[in-house]
Amino acid sequence: MTNQEIFELLDRFERSGLAGLKLRRGDFSLELSRASASSPAPAGEAQSAPAQSPAQSAEATDEAIIAPLAGVFYAAAAPGEVPYAEVGTRVRKGQTVCLMEAMKMISEIPAPCDCVITGVCKENGTLAAYGEPLFRYRPC
């Protein structure tokens, strides 16, 4: 499967009511599952959400580009380089907005549509969990 096919499958899974999905194609295997609302928070995470500022509340209404895999979030191709996307950046559908590294493999994360980035949810070099928001955006 190509990365684009996987991203489309993740998007459809996210929009569906399915609790889990297993896919096999030859030697390729993919398993998706949703975290249940009743599952406890992982150790080290706050049990209650911090109060949001008005700017954060506005961002919460925007759509999100979510992490299609668990890995390290990179805003730019190399340290010291300009980030792919920052708040206010206008991006086209399919344009790379960040990189994610998992198991020594680098994946480009594309914009899902033509949009304007309204928030960056992760800091460069930090770990992102599967399904965690990376960016907030408004379609244009």
* pLDDT tens profile 38-50: 444 444 444 444 4
Number of neighbours of residue 84 by Cβ within 10 angstroms: 21
Angle at 61 between CA 57 and CA 64, to 5 degrees: 110
Which residue bears the tokens 């399919």? Answer: 94
pLDDT value at 62 more than 70: yes
Which residue bears the tokens 């399915």? Answer: 18
- For the stretch 78-124, pLDDT in tens is 988 999 999 999 999 999 999 999 988 999 999 999 999 999 999 99
Q: Which whole number is the average pLDDT over 2-10?
A: 74
Give the separation between CA 74 and CA 97, rounded to whole angstroms.
9
Two tokens at 9?
């499958």
Give the separation between CA 88 and CA 127, rounded to whole angstroms.
24
| Entry pTM | 0.58
Number of neighbours of residue 91 by Cβ within 10 angstroms: 22
pLDDT value at 61 more than 70: no
Give the separation between CA 118 and CA 71, rounded to whole angstroms.
22
Binned at pLDDT 50, 70 and 90, residue 131 comes out as very high
Angle at 65 between CA 105 and CA 3, to 5 degrees: 40
Q: Which whole number is the average pLDDT over 65-86?
A: 94
- SS3 for 25? strand
